[in-house]
């Protein structure tokens, strides 16, 4: 936990920004795998963690803006709970550590909110991504589930996004401690990958490192020889010499900040010439993006610059043709790069996206495109010092998409479909790092992890 003052300051700023009403943060509950006493690993809601810090199920935070009161609602354990769970800290003790003096049993929350509603006070809450918290708000506010969904507070969303987007030095330190684990996960994978092994064997090793460090994964591990499927969570393939494997994996720090790193590794330890050609294009695109990330720049422009490098490289290989700027403007590169260059990173791996991607990544002036490819860019807006973002270009050869575009002769002025066919079985390459936007440019966070062809091959060789 950070010092109490951190949470006090965050809540004070939030209170000033929202201006009026009651602000309620339902924490997450314990989520059963099948029966109540057999839960999934607990993960607190990130906004609750950010403002109220307490990392336990069954809590809610409340700020009464005009009344200048802050409360945490939760129930102390009974002797029956102690028998099964051991002694636990009281709610009041936990609340004191985050600078909240007033606590009440959970059952009182309905009463406090009911009184507020009768007095015509506005109740602010964030969009809910867990069905049980939608149900909880239904009960607390006596409204239907669609009304809960429609009633999330835009003022609160904007205020939370404004604060959580800019990371303090202490938050960056947390992200870097998550990246220490990511470093170990990537190095272990480079050591352990071998022809004939199942993908899941390596997943077991790298996720074991996470558990061994008292952490948890920040998202389901993507580890696959079919990297052309962007979020491929299957680990059932046997890796063969000649394959390349994408390792997109991440862990959380002790305070639940995420790291998110991808490397693409040749299963035999050596890239083929064709793999090198494609891989180097992605390295170049990432380098160009690092050089372009700085305050005041639209991340959409960094994305488009990376797309131009990718398309230029594909033109050199004969896969694309024509004027590169025109090709990217038309979206032709999206046959091979269907997603965005990156996303915000923080307490969530895709930071704050449950609050609404457009609140996080766009503004009234910078509006999300509807074009295939560009529409999947989660972050388009101007970068500011303190933002932490991922930079993750890739090239993905998806046979079904190639077939569809080819049949339609889509953007054929920019794509040599007969050459593309030679890459149908290529798979995918992605390289991802996490960067902090500084006052003048950016800093790649974490210990360096081999990235170039030569460095990845050498790391593989260090068995």
Residues that bind Mn ion (CB under 5 A): 260, 390
- Residues with Cβ within 8 Å of residue 455, at least 6 apart in sequence: none
Beta strand 60-64 with 69-73 is antiparallel
CB of 125 to ligand GLY, least distance (A): 26
116: left (phi over 0), alpha (psi -120 to 50) or beta: alpha
Binding test (CB under 6 A) with ligand GLY, winner from 219, 290, 359, 417: 219
Query: Judged by CB, which is closer to ligand GLY: 70, or 392?
Result: 392
Q: What residues between 30 and 89 interact with ligand GLY by CB under 6 A?
A: none
Number of neighbours of residue 91 by Cβ within 10 angstroms: 23
Q: 147 by DSSP, 3-state: which?
A: helix
Number of neighbours of residue 85 by Cβ within 10 angstroms: 10
Query: Judged by CB, which is closer to ligand GLY: 2, or 219?
Result: 219
CB of 152 to Mn ion, least distance (A): 25
> Using the rule CB under 6 A, is 260 a contact of ligand GLY?
yes
Contacted entry of ligand GLY, Mn ion, none for residue 286, CB cut-off 5 to 8 Å set by kind = none
Among 247, 171, 266, which Cα is nearest to 203's?
Answer: 247
x/- mask, ligand GLY, residues 230-259, rule CB under 6 A, reads ------------------x-----------
> Using the rule CB under 6 A, is 353 a contact of ligand GLY?
no
Query: Judged by CB, which is closer to ligand GLY: 45, or 260?
Result: 260
Residue 452: CA count within 13 A, CB half-sphere? 4
* Phi and psi, residue 190, nearest 5°: -60, -30
Query: Judged by CB, which is closer to ligand GLY: 187, or 389?
Result: 389
Query: Judged by CB, which is closer to Mn ion: 268, or 390?
Result: 390
Query: Judged by CB, which is closer to ligand GLY: 161, or 218?
Result: 218
Alpha helices in 193-256 (DSSP H): 199-212
Contacted entry of Mn ion, ligand GLY, none for residue 207, CB cut-off 5 to 8 Å set by kind = none
CB of 9 to ligand GLY, least distance (A): 30
**What burial class does residue 16 get, using C-beta atoms within 10 Å of its C-beta: 0-12 exposed, 13-18 middle, 19+ buried?**
exposed
CB of 185 to Mn ion, least distance (A): 14
Rounded CA separation 19/262 (Å): 41
Residue 310: enclosing H or E segment and its boundaries? helix 299-316
CB of 222 to ligand GLY, least distance (A): 6
CB of 390 to Mn ion, least distance (A): 4
Task: Provide the binding-site residues for ligand GLY, judged by CB under 6 A.
Answer: 219, 248, 260
């Amino acid at each position: 936990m950070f010092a109490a003052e951190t949470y006090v300051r965050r809540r004070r700023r939030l209170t000033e920004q929202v201006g009026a009403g009651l602000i309620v943060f339902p924490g997450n509950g314990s989520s059963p795998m099948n029966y109540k006493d057999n839960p999934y690993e607990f993960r607190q809601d990130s906004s609750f963690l950010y403002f109220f810090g307490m990392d336990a199920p069954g809590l809610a935070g409340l700020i009464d803006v005009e009344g200048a009161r802050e409360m945490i609602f939760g129930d102390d354990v009974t002797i029956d709970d102690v028998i099964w769970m051991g002694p636990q800290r009281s709610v009041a003790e936990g609340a004191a550590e985050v600078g909240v003096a007033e606590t009440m049993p959970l059952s009182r929350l309905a009463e406090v909110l009911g009184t507020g509603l009768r007095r015509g006070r506005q109740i602010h809450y964030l969009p809910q991504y867990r069905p049980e918290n939608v149900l909880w708000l239904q009960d607390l506010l006596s409204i239907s589930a669609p009304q809960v969904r429609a009633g999330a507070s835009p003022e609160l969303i904007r205020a939370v996004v404004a604060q959580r987007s800019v990371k303090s030095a202490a938050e960056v330190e947390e992200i870097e401690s998550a990246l220490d684990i990511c470093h170990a996960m990537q190095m272990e994978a480079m050591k352990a990958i071998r022809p004939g092994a199942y993908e899941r064997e390596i997943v077991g090793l790298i996720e074991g490192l996470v558990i061994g460090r008292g952490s948890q994964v920040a998202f389901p591990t993507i580890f696959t020889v079919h990297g052309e499927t962007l979020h491929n969570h299957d680990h059932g393939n046997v890796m063969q010499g000649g394959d390349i494997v994408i390792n997109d994996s991440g862990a959380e720090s002790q305070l639940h900040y995420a790291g998110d790193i991808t490397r693409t590794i040749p299963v035999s330890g050596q890239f083929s010439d064709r793999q090198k050609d494609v891989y180097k294009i992605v390295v170049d695109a990432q380098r160009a993006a690092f050089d372009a990330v700085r305050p005041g720049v639209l991340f959409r422009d960094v994305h488009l610059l990376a797309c131009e490098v990718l398309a230029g490289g594909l033109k050199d290989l004969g896969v694309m043709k024509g004027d590169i700027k025109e090709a990217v403007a038309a979206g032709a590169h999206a046959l091979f790069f269907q997603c965005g260059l990156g996303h915000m990173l923080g307490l969530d791996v895709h930071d704050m996206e449950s609050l609404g991607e457009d609140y996080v990544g766009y503004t009234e002036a910078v509006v999300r495109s509807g074009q295939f490819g560009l529409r999947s860019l989660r972050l388009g807006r101007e970068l500011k010092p303190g933002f932490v973002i991922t930079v993750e270009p890739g090239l993905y050869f998806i046979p079904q998409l190639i077939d569809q575009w080819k049949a339609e002769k889509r953007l054929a002025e920019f794509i040599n479909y007969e050459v593309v066919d030679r890459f149908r079985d290529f798979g995918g390459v992605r390289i991802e790092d996490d960067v902090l936007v500084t006052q003048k440019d950016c800093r790649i966070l974490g210990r360096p992890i081999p990235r170039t062809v030569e460095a990845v091959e050498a790391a593989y060789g260090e068995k």
